[in-house]
Amino acid sequence: MIPYLLFATFIGLLFHGIHRKVIARIQGRPGPPIWQEILHTLKFSFKETWIPKTASQTLFVAVVFVAIGIWSGALYVLLSGGSLLLLFGVYLLHKIVEHGMGLSSGSPYGKFGAIRSVISAASELPLFVTVIAIYLFTRSLSIADIVAYQEMYGPLLIVAFPAAVAMYLIILSKMHYGPFSIIEAKEIVSGNMTEHFGVWRAGLEVGYALKTYVLLYAFVLLFIGQLPLALMLLVMLLVLISLSFVCAITPMLSPYDTVTVQSLVTGALVIYIVILVVVMG
């Protein structure tokens, strides 16, 4: 399955490039070519590589392996129709990766990024609500069952629209240059990734490309259903472009505002869940 993982990495990197291009065009700039992130990853892989003297060496390197490993696992969970809770678990592990990446570096910028990743844990709250809402409709947390439910009753995007909005917010909070991207804000250089360069950064780019592929794939699978691969990629691209549009027109929020917005959305969705429970019994 290494070919599929390499394919997903390639598409994920291409999506990152398209994301940058769309943001640039909306903001009236020419922007980089769409394959820029692929070149970026290749460039990093032959840049000089070392571990900073102040870093915790084992953790500094281990997070790169873990970042790639967990999203490879998440891709298998999706493709094999496994449990939605496993996907949720990977999302939580990614938070640990973000945190460990910043703290292990020994850099104050990295540490600021790590602290902000803890603050932005509020972005996981809408994920709880998404999982609960999907369960209330499908009575299962197996991705295969959720897909089968949609084949019988139509896309969850229509009947569980607020849950789709919550999932959309989760993906938005993980996009580069987005309103919730506080962990890599420019005022803290590159945040938790500041000290990871060379091969380590190339590895992280691979992990993040897989993450983008998995999250977009999961969104389409959970709220629209199983599609042929070409159509799936096209729908994923459309979701990505809509995310790019939001990122282009929305300034980055301050750390506490991101928590406020995500908590408010979660609060609204909890009310939605309570209504669903009352109505559906």
Q: Could you give the CA distance from residue 254 to residue 211 in angstroms, rounded to a whole number?
A: 24
Mark residues 89-128: x for contact with another protein by CB under 8 A, - for none.
Answer: ----------------------------------------
Q: Segment contacting another protein (CB under 8 A): 27-35, 134-142, 197-205, 234-242?
A: 197-205
Residue pair 210/216 in contact (Cβ under 8 Å)? The answer is no
- Regarding 49 and contact with another protein (CB under 8 A), the answer is yes
Q: How many CA atoms lie within 13 A of 275 on its CB side?
A: 8
Q: Could you give the CA distance from residue 225 to residue 34 in angstroms, rounded to a whole number?
A: 28
Q: Where are the alpha helices (DSSP H) in 36-124?
A: 36-45, 57-79, 84-105, 108-119
Residue pair 184/247 in contact (Cβ under 8 Å)? The answer is no
**Number of residues near another protein (by CB under 8 A):** 24
Q: Quick one: which of 76, 137, 161, 197 contacts another protein (CB under 8 A)?
A: 76
Quick one: 9 or 262, whose CB is closer to another protein? 9
- In whole angstroms, the minimum distance from the beta carbon of 52 to another protein comes to 17
Nearest to 114 by CA among 196, 12, 16, 178: 196
Residue pair 104/60 in contact (Cβ under 8 Å)? The answer is yes
- Regarding 203 and contact with another protein (CB under 8 A), the answer is yes
Q: Quick one: which of 52, 81, 106, 198 contacts another protein (CB under 8 A)?
A: 198
- Regarding 199 and contact with another protein (CB under 8 A), the answer is yes
Structure tokens given for 83: 């449990």
Residue pair 211/5 in contact (Cβ under 8 Å)? The answer is no
Q: Segment contacting another protein (CB under 8 A): 71-79, 94-102, 108-116, 129-137?
A: 71-79
Nearest to 206 by CA among 13, 3, 1: 13
Strand, helix or coil at 83? strand
Q: Segment contacting another protein (CB under 8 A): 72-80, 114-122, 128-136, 163-171?
A: 72-80
Q: Quick one: which of 27, 54, 57, 80 contacts another protein (CB under 8 A)?
A: 80
- Regarding 69 and contact with another protein (CB under 8 A), the answer is yes
Q: Quick one: which of 171, 206, 252, 253 contacts another protein (CB under 8 A)?
A: 206
Quick one: 73 or 191, whose CB is closer to another protein? 73
Nearest to 16 by CA among 201, 172, 244, 196: 244
Q: Could you give the CA distance from residue 97 to residue 62 in angstroms, rounded to a whole number?
A: 9
- In whole angstroms, the minimum distance from the beta carbon of 67 to another protein comes to 8
Q: Quick one: which of 14, 18, 51, 64 contacts another protein (CB under 8 A)?
A: 64
- Regarding 137 and contact with another protein (CB under 8 A), the answer is no
Residue pair 180/253 in contact (Cβ under 8 Å)? The answer is yes
Mark residues 207-246: x for contact with another protein by CB under 8 A, - for none.
Answer: x---------------------------------------
Using CB under 8 A, list all residues that contact another protein: 1-2, 5, 45-49, 64-69, 72-73, 76, 80, 198-199, 202-203, 206-207
